[in-house]
A = this chain, B = another copy of it.
């Protein structure tokens, strides 16, 4: 249940949570206390007297839900505010290829308004014989490029054992779609204080995503954002996946986490990336994460879906313009 404490009784939030701490999963948020598996009968007369409302019908993913945490989560990193009325552009190459290349891409990303530089150093490839990423050296290149341009780093961690090491370089962990229900990995990033972008699994329902996010929150890390990157449906002849734009307002209604759209993996082909990106902005996503490359034909991975610098710039301009129509109260981003 979720207990909403009456104004003026805030001390009771602490008291109740202490009383149940060893018996159940207990979480607090403002004047709310969530106690897993308990019900009204567990409360004393004094506790009930201090209670404004008891919500017994709540989602399993309680910490992620609006009933527990009504206001938007806004994640603050060195160079970005993510969520709420903010709009955040994230861009970079699919794989980190070299220091020179990732610096070049960082310049392009920054020019287009991005405050987050994405890039993969550990790559989850369908085949074990495909390029698996540069590893830690790639992370160093990425960090250096981001620092030079005053940007945050977003990069994938695939492995519980790498969480500490990757955490030294990144501002935001990415959990890839294939690992969305790798619960050991979710628990591991849940124990850090680094923000996490959780990508939706190919056939994950909205409830599945929110339960996966809850594994991170259960560990104490509430700085979570969700990325819609296309789902698997019956038709993938012309696009790589099916961008489920409709999931964006659904996720925003049910949860307080920022929702980011990844048009690159959804479309899978450059010619459709910009248009899917704009659809994501128009439906109200809190940001975009986009793959860019100056020479897609020779990209180490996923070149077919990378926007060239000029294409990215044109897309970004339209994206910001549409955003200002859709959310006219958008705050300026932090660009330290």
Interface residues of A, Cβ cutoff 8 Å to B: 25, 36-37, 60-61, 124-129, 158-161, 178-179, 181-185, 187, 201-203, 205-208, 211, 214-215, 218, 230-239, 242-250, 253-254, 266-267, 271-272, 275-276, 278-284, 318, 321-322, 325-326
Contacts and interface: CB of A to CB of B under 8 A. Distances in A.
Given A126-B208, A128-B218, A233-B234, A322 B272 contact: no
Contact of A206 (B129, B187, B235, B245): B235
**Total copies of this chain within the assembly:** 4
B158 A183 contact: yes
Nearest to A281: B282
A36 B281 CA distance: 42
Given A127-B61, A214-B128, A279-B245, A237 B321 contact: no
A220 B34 CA distance: 48
A211 to B, nearest CB: 5
Contact of A325 (B128, B279, B321): B321
A276 B283 contact: yes
A36 B127 CA distance: 11
Contact of A161 (B160, B276, B321, B322): B160
11 contacts: A25-B129, A124-B183, A127-B214, A233-B244, A239-B250, A242-B244, A275-B283, A275-B284, A279-B282, A281-B282, A322-B322
Contacts of A231: 233-235, 242
* Cβ-closest 6 pairs across A and B: A203-B203, A282-B282, A178-B181, A159-B184, A279-B279, A278-B282
A281 B326 CA distance: 12
A248 B278 CA distance: 13
